[in-house]
Structure 1
């Protein structure tokens, strides 16, 4: 039939099973998922490769990395977005929530400028169909910054915003709880002596104590009743998790301790872990290993964090090393993150859903993304 695309001879990964089959698309949607091989001459032979749903990445700092490829080195925001878009698409990501930092800790970070330019370019390019993946916004609100609310307001009502995380990267909190470790690791990066770095930490902590609670309350009030996924970030203690849950937050993103992840699950919160953590075999900051969380059944979603290709790799590690069934493993990077941010039209291979699909060849156990389709159109 005219307008149909047929993929056959594929190992189709649905949300519940894996089978040799055929998937039929009509325009942007999946219209049939069948067992067995199509005999139609027009069917595209996928040569026994996996056919999985397009990946949904709810947190990536990758756009910021392209906008500032070296400390203090700025790149064109449009060129950075196009390069980032090509990279995520080639990793099998068909929906990406670009995680942009709201609130500039130090002017030298240039994050306020990157935030404004990143949002402007998304608004300019996405409606024109110039991006391969679908790009949405994840706003990383830095609660320890005095000007955070001022930065947040211009995008508070933007329809691109699907997720907001409430962060506190002050030395002595969350990911950077060990102040001595922070000082020793970052004094050189900050271009300071250790004494200067300690003074910097003291300033950060003073500002945080002054503005954090007011910033938190303002963001929660601003978003109350809206269909935006709310996440805490770098949770460390049971008390932190309980407080976030009581305030209406339902996602614990990148908990840094086993205790926090267990508390999140007890409260019915979804837990997001970073793909690089499990692929590398541990946290780059010395916090809890994602593999330990997986072993206890505490992870619902994997996000790329800062390496787009880590998503697919992490899901296959769940299957190969942790004995998790392939449909469940793939769901951590497709169906589950889609549900988390209210995108119920994608993330699964089923009739009536968006034709976001990825052909994956396993080369000695390593995933090779061969082709990617978004809404039935090939993008990589």
Structure 2
């Protein structure tokens, strides 16, 4: 039985143009990209649909969402990983960095447990070929948490780790700079009184003052010389960006202000924005809108953040509403994120690269995933 697959009558989106043609897949790689239709009887007719590279998602909280579908409600980690994997594949994602939080703020968060279980299941299932997409780890290290380093160390050297973001979700900084808003939100969402929420904020800030700088220095020392992408997170000011750049970080992930995004781009850092932000038309946290960053050419990569389908939808919004050429729009969710985390073998439809592909049908302008291939094998 031949291991060759021929996909024809497709509108192929390369890194430079879109044209009608044929793609030949062989032994998990793209063997040829040709203009025009194939005359082979065995060729699969894509009926004029778009054929784009498999999406590369460098930050998704979707696995955590499956492990805890409601506050305080835990789900089997294996069942959660399998459901998450099926969902991302159906969204056209062929490479995903599962963003797991390292450092438990409160025991009720159960994040340390979710982190340990998530890593264990990924290590157990991926080598057996039981996952549709290819999964790596993105470690979201909470610098203001005393237990972070103890959780980080056992997985620090794992080859699955492709990216580490240095986060600080302490109330009063970054995404949660507005303490009053934070207090009211936690009182509402977690069933706290406002007095209890203020006590919680005080505990968080005291702990941050004690451990943040030491945690930062330890992480940077542990990863020095490693082929791991390093990102700051929720940058708000030019001074914050300058400090992270000086420390060797090359990515600004989800900057919360126009000032921070511009500062990062000005220093040659890659800027990652959230797909839900561009799809919804704004940040759910009230921070800078991704559309505003796009208008100023300040976004390099879109990640799913918490909605896997937002990547494909967001890329087409870039093309349809923001006037970005389709190859460049698709590159924000394929080629550029792949390069950002050191995966040079994917993200573009070109001979010799991995046969990670997505057939996209436009239904009244909305992108609909019809088929997905990872290394030439259909996964959705």
User: The TM-score by the shorter chain falls in which range?
Assistant: over 0.9
User: Which residue does the alignment assign to 1:216?
Assistant: 216
Q: CA separation in 2, counterparts of 1:257 and 1:43?
A: 49
State the secondary structure of the residue aligned to 1:159. Answer: coil
Q: Aligned pair 1:92/2:96, yes or no?
A: no
Offset at residue 3 of structure 1 (A): 2.5
Offset at residue 189 of structure 1 (A): 1.9
User: Which residue does the alignment assign to 1:13?
Assistant: 13
Please list the CA deviations of residues 199-227 of structure 1 after superposition, one character each: whole Å capped at 9, or x if unmatched. 11011001001100000000000000110
Q: Aligned pair 1:82/2:78, yes or no?
A: no
Please give the residue correspondences for 1:308-319 in structure 2 after superposition, counting only pairs within 5 Å: 308-319=308-319
Q: CA separation in 2, counterparts of 1:171 and 1:316?
A: 35
User: Which residue does the alignment assign to 1:345?
Assistant: 345
User: Which residue does the alignment assign to 2:330?
Assistant: 330
Q: CA separation in 2, counterparts of 1:353 and 1:302?
A: 22
Please list the CA deviations of residues 103-148 of structure 1 after superposition, one character each: whole Å capped at 9, or x if unmatched. 0011000000000000000000000000000000000000010010
User: Which residue does the alignment assign to 2:354?
Assistant: 354
User: Which residue does the alignment assign to 1:148?
Assistant: 148
State the secondary structure of the residue aligned to 2:188. Answer: coil
Please list the CA deviations of residues 24-81 of structure 1 after superposition, one character each: whole Å capped at 9, or x if unmatched. 0112000100001111111100000000000000000000000000000000000000
Q: CA separation in 2, counterparts of 1:197 and 1:143?
A: 21
Q: CA separation in 1, counterparts of 2:31 and 2:323?
A: 32
User: Which residue does the alignment assign to 1:378?
Assistant: 378
Q: Aligned pair 1:234/2:228, yes or no?
A: no
Normalising to structure 2: TM-score of the pair?
Answer: 0.99
Normalising to structure 1: TM-score of the pair?
Answer: 0.99
Q: CA separation in 1, counterparts of 2:182 and 2:4?
A: 56
RMSD across aligned positions (CA)? 0.7
State the secondary structure of the residue aligned to 1:181. Answer: helix
Offset at residue 88 of structure 1 (A): 0.1
Offset at residue 4 of structure 1 (A): 1.4
User: Which residue does the alignment assign to 1:263?
Assistant: 263
Deviates more, 1:93-102 or 1:184-193: 184-193
Please give the residue correspondences for 1:1-380 in structure 2 after superposition, counting only pairs within 5 Å: 2-380=2-380
State the secondary structure of the residue aligned to 1:112. Answer: helix
Q: CA separation in 2, counterparts of 1:366 and 1:3?
A: 33
Q: CA separation in 1, counterparts of 2:100 and 2:83?
A: 16
Instruction: Tell me the number of residue pairs that the alignment of Structure 1 and Structure 2 aligns.
Output: 380
Q: CA separation in 1, counterparts of 2:191 and 2:167?
A: 24
Offset at residue 192 of structure 1 (A): 1.3
Offset at residue 170 of structure 1 (A): 0.3
Q: Where does structure 1 differ by over 6 angstroms across 4 or more consecutive aligned residues?
A: none
